[in-house]
Amino acid sequence: MIALLKFGHIAALAIWCAGLLILPLLLTGSHRGTPEPKAARMRIFAHNAYNFCVSPAAVVATIAGGSLIFARDLFQPWLFAKLGFVGVLVVIHTYLGHCVVELGEKGRVSPLVHPYLVLMAALAVMTAILVVVLAKPVISPDLVPDWLRAPLNRQLPFPTVPS
């Protein structure tokens, strides 16, 4: 079961990351002087790639990765660093989705950030994730504030068991 989850996680992650690298390149080609038939094909390809390939792969990678965390009982500090980087990948994914929608609606992209910078950021985050996962660095618990390391024994503001 663990091997199947790992395979699913790595396969989906490869598709997700490849999509996050190809989408900025598609977006840079959208604001050049491309003829309309080719630009229309690029818009359709970007839309289909994002909605039917990259986003489902992101969901599968996230679900399989979360399942692996609980199946292996893997709650190490390096994992939380990895999850922080994955959060940045999700932000990049969402931003690219916004750009794909803008490309479909307006026929061009007026990005807040140049697509090449998005590509470089995605590459940097993917490299950081790979380094953290392969190196599994020892992260001192002293870097985490005390209030995050110990329960505060406070009550929730609402009842948890129906009366």
pLDDT digits (tens, 9 = 90+) for 75-126: 888 898 999 999 999 999 999 999 999 888 887 777 788 889 999 999 999 9
Q: Which of 40, 14, 18, 20 is nearest to 29 (CA)?
A: 40
| Residue at 99 is within a domain | yes
Write the burial class of residue 92 (CB in 10 Å: 0-12 exposed, 13-18 middle, 19+ buried).
Answer: buried
| Residue at 27 is within a domain | yes
**Domain ranges, residue 65:** 2-149
| Residue at 8 is within a domain | yes
Tens-digit pLDDT profile for residues 28-74: 766 666 677 777 888 899 999 999 999 999 999 999 999 999 998 88
| Residue at 11 is within a domain | yes
| Residue at 17 is within a domain | yes
| Residue at 36 is within a domain | yes
| Residue at 160 is within a domain | no
Where does the pLDDT of residue 27 fall: very low under 50, low under 70, confident under 90, or very high at 90 and above?
Answer: confident
Domain count, the chain: 1
| Residue at 159 is within a domain | no
Cβ(122)–Cβ(18) below 8 Å: no
Is the predicted pLDDT of residue 129 greater than 90, yes or no? yes
